[in-house]
Amino acid sequence: MRRKNTKVENKTRGTPRKHMPQRTCIACRQTQNKRNLIRLVFSVNNIEIDPKGKKPGRGVYLCPYRGCWEMGLKGNRIEYTLHARLGAENRQMLVEYGRSLPEKEDSL
Ligand SMILES: [Zn+2]
């Protein structure tokens, strides 16, 4: 039972479709299909959640899971990545949004 070719190792689960752009979650650093992430856009001292990923501006991506939002907000990663400062209200809005999201499942 020897196999000479082990090319297909990465195909075990969740094979990405070829034409989907990939983005990295700033919290857990996992690369995902862009559609599976939530984009945050910073424009003129204001941060917005951009679920469709269409707004212009500098953006960061987070998984749609509570843990990633907490992690991303905790360490100023969003600010660091965006080179911007989040106001207290913006931060609070993001914290609350994150709380409305489900926990990540271990199997993912
Ligand atoms: Zn994540």
Q: Are 103 and 65 in contact (CB under 8 A)?
A: yes
Catalogue the long-range contacts made by 4-12 (C-beta closer than 8 Å, 24 or more residues apart). Answer: none
Distance 9 CA to ligand 1 centre (A): 23
For the chain, list the domains and their CATH numbers.
Answer: 22-99 (3.30.1230.10)
69 pLDDT tier (thresholds 50, 70, 90): very high
CB proximity list for 21: less than 8 A, separation 6 or greater: 33, 34
Average pLDDT over residues 58-72: 94
Closest to 62 (Cα-Cα) out of 70, 12, 15:
70
105 pLDDT tier (thresholds 50, 70, 90): confident
Higher pLDDT, 86 or 105: 86
CA angle centred on 53, ends 74 and 58, rounded to 5°? 60
Distance 56 CA to ligand 1 centre (A): 22
Average pLDDT over residues 55-83: 91
pTM: 0.76
Distance 86 CA to ligand 1 centre (A): 20
